[in-house]
């Protein structure tokens, strides 16, 4: 029994090492592109965790300091192989990127001024932008399934670009605002259960209350932000 367990653990660690080396070698395009690649490999193909679990880990990693992609991969490795899987995933994911960066840094120092190399360097930028945009749209298609989520995204992207607010504060504020909206909806659901609807008029009244509560939450946030 112990031999079978050790064999299973070894197999899991080998799988984690192979996937981490693969993603660490091919994950280009910034955090959005790398996260999309991890999701495709870990969630869609191998089903180590489900999509909701992955999005929760992604949200937590955006708040925690450090490289987000490495943190996500280490968590996925832990889910697959325990604490040894966490270590294997972290080391194997970082190692290829470290070697590739060293090679490119040396080549850039030696050949960046060569005229024949300039078009290649200029062509990397639009290609990277296309990779990032494709990954963003793919993640958004799986995440923004509710109008409320899309509205919050638009509001906080607008606030961040207009006022230059720190990303961590935006993430925390969006979470608080989303909780307030959900709380208001839960209270309205309790009210509707206590006083059963007597027809279209009462349903419309509940709808009008919701229309007043949700903008109030948004207004309170931006008012406090200005203060």
- Count of Cβ atoms closer than 10 Å to residue 79 Cβ: 18
Cα 78–Cα 58–Cα 67 angle in degrees, nearest 5: 80
CA 83 to each of CA 4, 13, 114, 122, 170: distance values in angstroms, whole numbers, following the listed order: 19, 10, 47, 42, 32
pTM (predicted TM-score): 0.52
Enumerate the H helices of 112-166 as residue ranges.
Answer: 118-143, 147-163
Here the tokens at position 191 are 């009210």
pLDDT in tens, the chain (227 residues): 556 566 788 888 999 999 999 998 887 766 777 888 898 899 988 889 988 899 889 888 888 888 888 999 999 999 998 999 999 999 999 999 899 889 988 887 887 777 777 777 777 777 777 766 776 666 666 555 555 566 666 677 677 767 777 767 777 777 777 777 777 766 655 544 444 554 444 444 444 444 444 444 444 444 444 44
Residue of 182, 178, 162 lying closest to 221 (CA atoms): 178
CA 164 to each of CA 149, 159, 168, 169, 170: distance values in angstroms, whole numbers, following the listed order: 21, 7, 12, 11, 10
pLDDT, residue 74, reads 93
pLDDT, residue 89, reads 93
Residue of 151, 156, 183, 150 lying closest to 169 (CA atoms): 156
CA gyration radius, the chain:
23
pLDDT, residue 216, reads 46
Cα gap 73→17, rounded to integer Å? 11
């Amino acid at each position: 029994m112990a031999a079978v367990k050790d064999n299973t653990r070894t197999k899991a660690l080998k799988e984690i090492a192979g996937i981490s080396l693969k993603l660490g070698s091919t994950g280009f395009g910034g955090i959005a592109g790398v996260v999309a690649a991890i999701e495709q490999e870990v969630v869609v193909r191998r089903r180590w965790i489900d999509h909701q679990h992955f999005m929760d880990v992604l949200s937590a990693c955006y708040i925690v300091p450090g490289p987000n992609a490495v943190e996500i991969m280490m968590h996925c490795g832990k889910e697959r192989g325990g604490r040894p899987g966490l270590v294997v995933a972290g080391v194997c994911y970082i190692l290829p990127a470290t070697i590739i960066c060293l090679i490119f840094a040396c080549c850039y120092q030696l050949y960046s001024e060569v005229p024949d190399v300039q078009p290649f360097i200029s062509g990397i930028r639009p290609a990277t932008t296309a990779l990032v945009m494709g990954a963003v749209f793919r993640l958004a298609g799986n995440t923004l399934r509710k109008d409320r989520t899309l509205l919050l995204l638009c509001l906080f992207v607008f606030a961040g670009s207009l006022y230059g607010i720190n990303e961590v504060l935006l993430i925390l504020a969006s979470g608080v605002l989303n909780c307030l909206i959900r709380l208001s909806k839960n209270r309205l659901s309790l009210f509707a259960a206590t006083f059963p609807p007597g027809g279209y008029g009462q349903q419309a009244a509940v709808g009008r209350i919701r229309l007043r509560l949700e903008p109030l939450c948004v207004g309170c946030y931006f008012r406090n932000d200005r203060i």
